[in-house]
Amino acid sequence: MSSSPEPAVMEARYTWGGDEFLFVEVAESMSLAANFRVMSIAAKLSAMQLPGIVDVCPANASLLVRFDPDVLPPSTLEETVRAIEGDLAHHHDHSLETRIVEVPVWYEDPFTAEVAERFREGFHQEPGGTDIDYAAKVNNLKDAAEFIQRHHEQPWLVSMVGFVAGLPFLFQLVEREKQLEVPKYLSPRTDTPKLTVGHGGCFGCIYSVRGAGGYQMFGVAAAPIFDPAQSLADFKDFMVFFKPGDIVKFKPVTEAEYNTIQSEISAGTFHYRQVPVTFDLSRALANPAGYNQELMEALNGV
């Protein structure tokens, strides 16, 4: 059993974002249970295909729904979501049909190192060191190598997609006391390399496009996660790769392996190693490491 059971999920808080948005805060704190509740409400609401629903956006511990009040009165929407929330509270089969994806990462790469060097004094807590050394230190780890080990040895859940197009927020599937926590930069950078693997608070992320950002930078993912041209097979159906609920296993790669992947991308032959899995919340909470092992073994057959 986990030494720190997740707190029970409280009743959600409902509030309005003007006349077109309903905001449902499932919990103030991040937890796997809260995220799972958000995803369950979002999935049920989307499946209803209610006229007047414009966007259903699950986030880490809250849900944002955009609606057209000319078609769907706000009170009707709120009653509908409350009913879904009530049903789920009495429903104990918390499983999610999803997939596990292996994401190759070149940790301590030169691209993020170059950008980090431009944003030290006034931006970073320890301008004399690297982001990853700082992350190791604040997590009481021996060195960068141990931090990298902790970063990729256990999988992550995509708890939200957003900020910019296709950017996944990632929550590691480990007990709260094992969560890696790193403060964001003191002041946001105006530049972040495309595909930077970042971290802020308890969340990891992969920057889908180049741009501003405040997360610490540890490495660079080797393959695209947002492909507007939809040139690779994994993007045939949609230009955004990740969906909330996806499970990510980072795999460290060397410079040579990174370059091989770049050639495969240019040739149009690259595809992610991925396999469908059923994610069971109770098992994940009861024995994270054992259950993660089972999830990751599913990738062996691919």
List interacting residues with another protein (CB under 8 A): 15-21, 23, 25, 27-31, 42, 54-64, 66, 69-70, 74, 160-167, 169, 176, 183-184, 200-203, 208-209, 211, 226, 228, 239-240, 242-244
Q: Shortest Cβ distance from residue 1 to another protein (Å)?
A: 20
- The smaller minimum CB distance to another protein, of residues 107 and 172, is found at 172
Handedness of CA 88, 93, 97, 103 (dihedral sign): positive
Three-point CA angle 80, 168, 240, nearest 5°: 85
Smaller CB separation from another protein, 48 or 145? 48
Q: How far is the CB of 138 from another protein (least distance, A)?
A: 12
User: Which residues, in sequence order, are CB contacts of 45 under 8 Å at separation 6+?
Assistant: 53, 56, 65, 80, 81, 84
Q: How far apart are CB 254 and another protein at their closest, in Å?
A: 30
Residue number with CB closer to another protein (160 or 284): 160
Q: Minimum Å distance from CB 245 to another protein?
A: 12
Q: In Å, what is the CA distance from 22 to each residue of 76, 78, 80?
A: 11, 8, 12
Spatial separation of the C-alpha atoms in residues 302 and 300, rounded to whole Å = 6
DSSP conformation class of 77: H
Judging by DSSP bridges, how do beta strands 196-200 and 203-206 pair with one another? Answer: antiparallel
Closest to another protein by CB, 17 or 86:
17
**Minimum separation from the CB atom of position 48 to another protein (A):** 15
Pick the closer one to another protein by CB: 64 or 148.
Answer: 64
